[in-house]
């Protein structure tokens, strides 16, 4: 897939490296806020960086006080290819949002932009603490996608789904959950799951398959539109195959087989590999969100 590096999106925040003393926050934590301010004032008064004398990460060296990772500045130590990954994620996110904003506008619905936070380790999200092993997720409370690059490694090395479009598909799927949130589908499904617990898994599968279909809608629209303003310049048939491979690799049956050696369709929450491939393809080929009614068959 061809894409243009336009740096970090304003909707992407890089929170990686937090809690490892790589930020101003690390220095504050070990000195205490009061101590931090005292040392800062004394350093400025005496013109000596007392932080380094105390062996604490100094806000006066490196990026300065403005270099708080929470503002989206890449943490120190990030190498060039890492910057490129941040730019890649930004491109896919921005492009997907532009596609959906267009679809919403055509239908007279207000579009609200999603945020994306890059994390490493366990995630303290607005939806609670989520372990790293759980993979990427969308939190509707703050309309934010949380993504860990470790999942991309797992996708390639454990699930055999490599390539940039496999990675793009993951973001496009989470964007699908954002669309469901904006359309009220996610809330409806949660209510239905409460009133009808016996159908809770089937409803969850339908929600996930619809997110796959929505991911396909973006990919397909992108292939057809080729807008000059878009950051993702082209998606080819080979890219489509990467998406298919990724969708198949993380089907519930494939994941269960890997984990337990058995497949139990009753416990599915995301759909089988075949279902995921089929709905992703359907979205891709039609480019039409209304073709993504995965609930009709329930
Ligand atoms: Zn999902």
DSSP string, 208-220: HHHHHHHHHHHHH
Q: Are residue 164 and residue 226 in the same domain, yes or no?
A: yes
Q: How many CA atoms lie within 13 A of 233 on its CB side?
A: 6
Dihedral angle sign, alpha carbons of residues 221, 255, 174, 153: negative
What is the per-residue pLDDT for 40?
Answer: 56
Look at residue 279 and tell me if it is in a domain. Answer: yes
Q: Higher-confidence residue: 16 or 27?
A: 16
Q: How many CA atoms lie within 13 A of 197 on its CB side?
A: 0
Q: How far is the CA of 236 from the centre of ligand 1 (A)?
A: 24
pLDDT at 1 over 70: yes
Q: How many CA atoms lie within 13 A of 257 on its CB side?
A: 11
Q: Are residue 223 and residue 193 in the same domain, yes or no?
A: yes
Q: Are residue 51 and residue 181 in the same domain, yes or no?
A: no
Q: How far is the CA of 233 from the centre of ligand 1 (A)?
A: 26
Q: What's the structural domain count of the chain?
A: 2
Domain housing 32: 24-67
Q: Categorize the per-residue pLDDT at 73 as very low, low, confident or very high, splitting at 50, 70 and 90.
A: very low
Q: Are residue 236 and residue 101 in the same domain, yes or no?
A: yes
pLDDT mean across residues, the chain: 79
Strand 144-148 relative to strand 137-139, pairing = antiparallel
Query: What is the per-residue pLDDT across 140-191, written as a single tens digit (0 to 9) for each?
Result: 999 999 999 988 888 888 888 888 889 999 999 999 999 999 999 999 999 9
Look at residue 116 and tell me if it is in a domain. Answer: yes
Residue 293 burial by Cβ neighbours in a 10 Å radius (0-12, 13-18, 19+): exposed
Q: Are residue 142 and residue 276 in the same domain, yes or no?
A: yes
Q: Categorize the per-residue pLDDT at 14 as very low, low, confident or very high, splitting at 50, 70 and 90.
A: very high
Q: Are residue 96 and residue 218 in the same domain, yes or no?
A: yes
pLDDT at 296 over 60: yes
Residues 6+ apart with CB under 8 A from 54: 31, 39
Residue 185 belongs to what H/E stretch?
A: helix 185-195
Look at residue 72 and tell me if it is in a domain. Answer: no
End-to-end CA distance of the chain: 35
For the ranges 9-23, 51-65, 87-101, 127-141, the lowest mean pLDDT is seen at: 51-65
Look at residue 146 and tell me if it is in a domain. Answer: yes
Q: Higher-confidence residue: 214 or 221?
A: 214
Query: What is the per-residue pLDDT across 32-55, written as a single tens digit (0 to 9) for each?
Result: 555 555 555 555 555 555 555 554
What is the per-residue pLDDT for 41?
Answer: 58
Residues with CB under 5 A from ligand 1 (ion): 208, 211
pLDDT at 243 over 60: yes
Residue 155 belongs to what H/E stretch?
A: helix 149-157
Q: How far is the CA of 287 from the centre of ligand 1 (A)?
A: 19
For the sheet containing 137-139, what is the strand order? 12-14, 115-119, 144-148, 137-139
Q: How far is the CA of 214 from the centre of ligand 1 (A)?
A: 11
What is the per-residue pLDDT for 89?
Answer: 96
Percent of the chain with pLDDT over 90: 43
């Amino acid at each position: 897939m061809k894409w243009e590096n336009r740096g970090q999106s304003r909707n992407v925040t890089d929170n990686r490296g937090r809690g490892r003393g790589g930020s101003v926050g690390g220095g504050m934590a070990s000195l205490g806020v009061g101590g931090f301010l005292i040392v800062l004032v004394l350093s400025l008064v005496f013109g000596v960086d007392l932080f380094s004398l105390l062996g604490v990460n100094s806000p006066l060296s490196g990026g300065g006080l403005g270099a708080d990772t929470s503002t989206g500045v890449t943490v120190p130590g990030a190498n060039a290819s890492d910057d490129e990954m941040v730019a890649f994620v930004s491109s896919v996110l921005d492009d997907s949002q532009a596609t959906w904003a267009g679809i919403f506008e055509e239908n007279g619905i207000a579009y609200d932009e999603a945020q994306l936070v890059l994390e490493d380790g366990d995630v303290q999200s607005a939806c609670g603490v989520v372990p790293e092993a759980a993979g990427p997720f969308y939190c509707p409370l703050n309309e934010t996608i949380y993504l860990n690059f470790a999942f991309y490694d797992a996708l390639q090395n454990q699930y055999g789904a490599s390539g940039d479009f496999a990675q793009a598909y993951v973001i496009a799927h989470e964007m699908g959950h954002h669309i469901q949130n904006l359309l009220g589908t996610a809330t409806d499904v949660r209510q239905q799951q409460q009133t009808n617990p016996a159908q809770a898994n089937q409803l969850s599968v339908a929600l996930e398959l619809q997110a796959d279909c929505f991911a396909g809608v973006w990919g397909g629209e992108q292939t057809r539109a080729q807008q000059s303003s878009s950051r993702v310049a082209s998606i080819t048939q080979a890219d489509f195959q990467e998406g298919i491979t990724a969708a198949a690799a993380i089907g519930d049956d494939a994941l269960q087989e890997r984990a337990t050696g058995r497949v139990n369709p009753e416990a599915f929450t995301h759909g089988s590999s075949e279902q995921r491939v089929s709905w992703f393809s359907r979205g891709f080929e039609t480019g039409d969100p209304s073709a993504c009614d995965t609930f009709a068959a329930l």
